[in-house]
Amino acid sequence: MNIPIVNWAKTYQTQKFAKDIVAAGIVVALLIPQSLAYAMVAGVTPQVGLYASILPLIAYAIFGSSTTLSVGPVAVISLMTATALGNIVQTNPDLYLTGAVTLALLSGIMLIAMGILKFGFVSNFLSHSVVSGFVTASCIIIALSQLENLFGIESNSDTTIETLPSAFTSFDSYNFYTVLVGLGALMYLGLAKRYCERWVSRIGLTPQTSTLISKLAPLLAIVIALAASYTLSLETLGVEVVGEIPQSLPTLMSVLPSFELVQMLAFPALMISIVGYVESISVSQTLAAKRREYVDPNQELIGLGAANLASGISGAIPVAGGFSRSAVNFDAGAVTQAASIFTAIGIAMASLLLPPIIYYLPKAVLAATIIIAVIGLIDLKIVAKTWAYSKSDFSALIATLGITLVFGVEIGIASGVFVSLLLHIYRTSKPHIAEVGLIEGTEHFRNVERYHVLTSPKVLSLRQDESLFFANAAQLARRTLHDVYKRDAIAHVVIQCNAVNEIDFSALEMLEDLNQKLIAQGVTLNLSEVKGPVMDKLQQCDFCEHLSGRIYLSQYEAFNDLV
């Protein structure tokens, strides 16, 4: 097994240490409020969020291939955790944290197994439109779920559709001071997100420094809220605060979850694994491209799996790579995963020193932090873009978004995977098949409907722009026979295979059947530009021996030989 830390540790120098330690300090300042906030989304106590930001960071630093990805609690995965555990808490509230830990352990095991089996391609099962629809819907659910904490009300709603009306109908139960704190934090964070970078840049700071300061705006909101809460005794005015947090480091799990619990959470853990991996690999590859670095998808599965396994062992929730803190880590100058190790040390120190201070933090401020963070992930522009470019992608996006909003994240992401696969099968089952002809004066063949080309009444040249497999083989046969039956002069059929990367057994049987039907019509079947691996497969059977025509190296050679 590859262990990336061995590679970068060999060349680790003082200069790199200085950059990593600075980046770690900045990420710690961002990660503390995020850890507390996303623990609240997951439905666990705040210290669990801190625990999920210690050992997982170290585990990823050892096994992850990205130099700048920062793992920890993230919004969507925290929501999926809460959703998966919703039914459990109704029957046995004492199992909630055990369930969260089980999800982290199962996710870690699944991700490591997929990495060992080279399943890095699993991210391809979710198209960008489906991921955008799912993330947008999840962020809307998260934002609405925080209205309860933002306004200090008790919501009786069980679904997303009921949440917003419930918030308005519960007006009598609003706490004035909570509303004041929550809306104040929401307004400050919204303005800071939109204008802080611009304002800070006016005092002469570099664009990179301005960006970092703007991303740390939530920390200032936390500091101000803590000071106000302590000074004004907001807790006595009905403002709900975080409350007592143990001053301790995570203790290693000593009891394994029951087999029944594992069975109940296996599917949710798989969905969390896939979504967490897709989010993490997207972030890591985006940042790696800026430095011309390579991120190994299979190694990322192992790295993220190790992080989740470490989170479960330390009694915490599932984790993934977060975009905002990874971007901060990158912008702050982190050059190796040592920055994550230093960040973990910083969070560990915070877990020991800060709980007495965090006690006074209003939950309304954390709710505002969550709402502003997830609103930034809602991408409504993609709806218009997909509608203009691809109606099928638009349908997949809207279906995933709607199903997630109505039926929840588990069904939403499962339907997203199903829609992505269905969309792929639909597209490949209806490949573009073009009749091609020779562009005069060249050896190039192009679509007869798009170019002025040379053709022969004796030769039918067809090009399929897709691999041949069970779902589309019949379409090529129908198109070929249809043209042959319409044009009596055709004596030869040539299928140009330059876009065919594979011919499965069903497609092979179709070609054999098509060959026999053309022989009955006095027409030969020929292939051209067959790729090496495809040719190897055809030579393993007796197809070439029974082929009525030939297999040509190029379409140009076939055309000249048969005309």
Domain positions in the chain are: 14-424, 433-562
Do residues 134 and 416 lie in contact, with contact meaning Cβ atoms separated by under 8 Å?
yes
Q: Element (H or E) spanning 69, and its range?
A: none
Do residues 435 and 483 lie in contact, with contact meaning Cβ atoms separated by under 8 Å?
yes
b/e per residue, 130-169, with b = 16+ CB within 10 A?
A: bbbbbbbbbbbbbbbbbbbbbbbbebebeebeebeebbee
User: Which residue type sits at 482?
Assistant: H
Tokens 């299979």 -> residue: 298
Q: Element (H or E) spanning 22, and its range?
A: helix 14-42
Give the tokens for residue 307.
């992080």
Do residues 201 and 382 lie in contact, with contact meaning Cβ atoms separated by under 8 Å?
no
Given CA atoms 265, 268, 271, 273 in this order, what sign does their dihedral have?
Answer: negative
Tokens 């040249």 -> residue: 461
Please give the chain's pLDDT, 563 residues, in tens.
Answer: 678 888 888 888 888 899 899 889 989 988 998 899 999 999 899 999 999 999 999 999 999 999 999 999 999 999 999 988 986 766 566 688 999 999 999 999 999 999 999 988 877 767 788 888 888 888 888 888 888 888 877 655 545 555 555 555 555 667 888 889 999 999 998 888 888 878 877 787 777 777 777 777 888 888 999 999 999 999 999 899 998 888 889 988 777 888 888 999 999 999 899 989 988 988 888 888 888 888 899 999 999 999 999 999 999 999 999 888 888 888 888 899 999 999 999 999 999 999 999 999 999 999 999 898 888 888 888 888 989 998 888 888 888 888 888 887 778 878 877 887 787 788 788 889 999 999 999 999 999 999 999 999 999 999 999 999 888 889 999 999 999 999 999 999 999 999 999 999 999 999 999 999 999 999 999 999 999 999 999 999 889 999 999 999 999 999 999 98
Give the tokens for residue 340.
């994550």
Give the tokens for residue 529.
């530009």
Q: What is the Cα–Cα distance from 237 to 178, expressed in whole angstroms?
A: 9
Do residues 346 and 25 lie in contact, with contact meaning Cβ atoms separated by under 8 Å?
yes
- The pTM for the full model equals 0.80
In sequence order, what are the residues at sequence separation of 6 or more whose Cβ sits closer than 8 angstroms to the Cβ of residue 180? none
Q: What is the CATH number of domain 433-562?
A: 3.30.750.24
Give me the DSSP letters along 172-183: GG--HHHHHHHH
User: Which residue type sits at 448?
Assistant: V
Q: What is the Cα–Cα distance from 96 to 86, expressed in whole angstroms?
A: 8
Do residues 412 and 126 lie in contact, with contact meaning Cβ atoms separated by under 8 Å?
no
Mutual angle of helices 14-42 and 338-353, in 10-degree steps: 50
Q: Environment class of residue 71 by beta-carbon count within 10 Å: exposed (0-12), middle (13-18) or buried (19+)?
A: buried
